[in-house]
Amino acid sequence: MIAIAMRAGFTRPVAALIAALALFAAACGAAAGRCPECDRHECLNMTFSIHMKDGRTVRTCCPRCGLRFIRADRAGVDSLTVKDFATAASLDATAAFYVEGSDVSPCTMTRPNSPKDERGCCLSPVYDRCLPSLVGFASKTRAEAFAREHGGTVKLFVELDRPTL
């Protein structure tokens, strides 16, 4: 996608921004509900689900909020699923590959007074409970390709800052 934008005459940074926005729009094409941790709308390709022993399922907007929820109620957790960011397919969250800290952070908000560049884009993120972003993938290859394109580090579930289940 970056190559297409560059052929259209955009500089690499602008082309990368266009590609990130297109990926974000595709991933968040349909809102599922509101996150119990941050009260934001869920993006279908970011949803993290906590399946409780009592039969309830708690859906959060992203893996980061899911990990925060588990910290507060880990005794009742039975299993975890995450959506593959590329396909929206559900997968075992403990077997997924995650990209932590990429420039794709669909959950985050900015303050009205955030510093902006001449185009009005935020120059620096502010504290947000969904940061650093966590994006889940079924494939290590796809996670590595995403990290090359958007930054961040590929991690396994056991490497994430999370409570012990």
Quick: pLDDT tens for 97-146. 999 988 876 665 544 555 555 555 545 555 466 678 889 999 999 999 99
CA gap 84, 96 in Å, rounded = 8
pLDDT-based confidence at residue 45 (cuts at 50, 70, 90): confident
Max mean pLDDT among 17-21, 101-105, 127-131, 150-154 falls in 150-154
CA gap 143, 85 in Å, rounded = 9
pLDDT score of 32 more than 70: no
pLDDT-based confidence at residue 28 (cuts at 50, 70, 90): very low
pTM value is 0.68
Buried b (16+ CB within 10 A) or exposed e, 12-50: eeebbbbbbeebbeebbeeeeeebebbebebbebbbbbb
CA gap 24, 96 in Å, rounded = 20
